[in-house]
């Protein structure tokens, strides 16, 4: 999947800083967190989960699934779970 489209919005300074802090706490940039949130909203999984699933499917078609072992939680899922566990508060 080629990422070619840009999404952006305007926020007040406090909200932007809170979002940037949330992204930092999750170990990613604000852009990465926003992308994961959009993918989660639209597809029910983060971008990283989507990519990993696509790769597993491709390897499965080639009979090489032993090369990838699914983990309990991808780093992106962990980022969102950290955010969700805080109930939106920073």
How far apart are alpha carbons 79 and 2 in whole angstroms?
23
pLDDT, tens digit (0-9, with 9 covering 90-100), for 52-85: 998 999 888 877 545 555 555 555 665 666 566 6
- Using 50, 70 and 90 to split pLDDT, how confident is the model at 17? very high
Helix residue ranges per DSSP H, the chain: 13-25, 30-43, 47-62, 75-85
pLDDT, tens digit (0-9, with 9 covering 90-100), for 22-39: 999 999 999 999 999 999
């Amino acid at each position: 999947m080629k990422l070619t489209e840009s999404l952006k919005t305007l926020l007040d300074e406090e909200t932007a800083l809170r979002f940037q802090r949330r992204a930092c706490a999750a170990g990613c940039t604000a852009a990465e967190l926003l992308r994961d949130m959009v993918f989660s909203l639209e597809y029910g999984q983060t971008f990283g989960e989507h990519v990993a699933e696509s790769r597993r499917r491709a390897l499965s078609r080639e009979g090489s699934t032993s090369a990838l072992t699914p983990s309990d939680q991808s780093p992106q899922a962990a980022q969102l779970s950290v955010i969700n566990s805080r109930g939106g508060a920073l």
